[in-house]
Amino acid sequence: MRNSVRALRNILLVASLMAAARGEAQFVLGSVEAGQGKGFARHASSNSTGSAAGARAYQILHYRIDLRLPLTTEALSGRVTAAILLAAATDTLQLNAAFLSLDTVEVNGVHTPIRVDSAGQQFTVLLGTTRDSGDTLFLTIGYHRLTGVSRPAGRIGYYWFTPSTSPLALDTLGYTMSEPSDARFWLPCLDDPSEKSTAEIHATVPAGFVAASNGRLVGVTPNSDGTVTWHWVESHPVATYLICVTASKFTRSTLPFVRAAGDTIPLQYYVWPADSAACAAYLPTVQQMVANLSALFRPYPFDKYGMTGVSPFGFGGMEHQSLTTLGRNYVTNRGVVVHELAHQWWGDAVTCGTWKDIWLNESFATYAEALWEESVGGASALRAKMTGKLSFNSSWNYAVYDPVGQGQYIFSDLVYSKGGWILHTLRGIVGDSLFFGALRDYYDLYQGKSALSDDLQAVFEQKAGSSLSWFFDPWVRGPGWPVYAYSWSFSADSLSVRIHQLQDAAWPTYRMPVQFRATKGQADTTFVLLDSLREQSFRIPFPFAPDSVAFDPDSWILKQMSASPTIAEREGNSIPESFLLDQNYPNPFNPSTRIRYSIPGSRDQGSGVSEVRLVVYDLLGREVAVLVDEKQAPGSYQVRFNAAGLTSGVYLYRLTVGSFVQTNKMVLMK
Is a pLDDT exceeding 50 seen at residue 5? no
d(CA 506, CA 263): 53
Pair 79, 217 in one domain: yes
Pair 201, 86 in one domain: yes
Is a pLDDT exceeding 80 seen at residue 568? no
Pair 186, 292 in one domain: no
pLDDT per residue as tens digits for the range 606-635: 346 788 999 999 999 999 999 988 887 788
Boundary residue ending a domain (476, 493, 509): 476
d(CA 157, CA 177): 5
Q: Is residue 49 part of a domain?
A: no
Pair 297, 426 in one domain: no
Mean pLDDT of the chain: 89
Pair 286, 422 in one domain: no
CATH code (residue 619): 2.60.40.1930
d(CA 295, CA 93): 43
Pair 468, 487 in one domain: no
Q: Report residue 374's pLDDT band, with 50, 70 and 90 as the boundaries.
A: very high
Pair 301, 367 in one domain: no
CA distances from 163 to 131, 171, 173, 311, 326 (A): 51, 6, 9, 10, 18
Portion of the chain with pLDDT greater than 90, in percent: 78
Q: Is residue 349 part of a domain?
A: no
pLDDT per residue as tens digits for the range 256-307: 999 999 999 999 999 999 999 999 999 999 999 999 999 999 999 999 999 9
pLDDT per residue as tens digits for the range 582-614: 899 889 999 889 898 888 875 443 346 788 999
Q: Is residue 45 part of a domain?
A: no
pLDDT per residue as tens digits for the range 203-212: 999 999 999 9
Instruction: DSSP for 88-107, please give it.
Output: S-EEEEEEE-SSEEEEEEEE
Q: Report residue 566's pLDDT band, with 50, 70 and 90 as the boundaries.
A: very low
Boundary residue ending a domain (299, 315, 344): 344
Pairing mode of beta strands 158-161, 173-176: antiparallel
pLDDT at position 30 is 53
pLDDT at position 561 is 86
d(CA 482, CA 497): 18
Is a pLDDT exceeding 80 seen at residue 19? no
Is a pLDDT exceeding 90 seen at residue 7? no
Q: Is residue 44 part of a domain?
A: no
Between 193-197, 289-293, 539-543, 642-646, the lowest mean confidence (pLDDT) is in: 642-646
Q: What is the number of structural domains in the chain?
A: 4
Pair 75, 207 in one domain: yes
CATH code (residue 140): 2.60.40.1730
Q: Report residue 347's pLDDT band, with 50, 70 and 90 as the boundaries.
A: very high
d(CA 441, CA 436): 9
Pair 236, 289 in one domain: no
> Once rounded to an integer, what is the mean pLDDT over residues 433-440?
98
> Once rounded to an integer, what is the mean pLDDT over residues 517-529?
94
Pair 567, 621 in one domain: yes
Q: Report residue 149's pLDDT band, with 50, 70 and 90 as the boundaries.
A: very high
CATH code (residue 412): 1.10.390.10
Q: Is residue 52 part of a domain?
A: no
pTM of the full structure: 0.81
Q: What range defines the domain where residue 260 resides?
A: 250-344
Residue 304's nearest CA partner among 318, 292, 286, 316 is 286
Q: Is residue 53 part of a domain?
A: no
Helical H runs in 303-394? 334-342, 359-388
Is a pLDDT exceeding 70 seen at residue 50? no
Pair 534, 409 in one domain: no
Boundary residue ending a domain (344, 371, 389): 344
Q: Is residue 367 part of a domain?
A: yes
d(CA 98, CA 30): 5
Pair 179, 212 in one domain: yes
CATH code (residue 269): 3.30.2010.30
Pairing mode of beta strands 449-451, 350-352: parallel
Q: Is residue 351 part of a domain?
A: no
Q: Report residue 644's pLDDT band, with 50, 70 and 90 as the boundaries.
A: confident
pLDDT at position 430 is 97
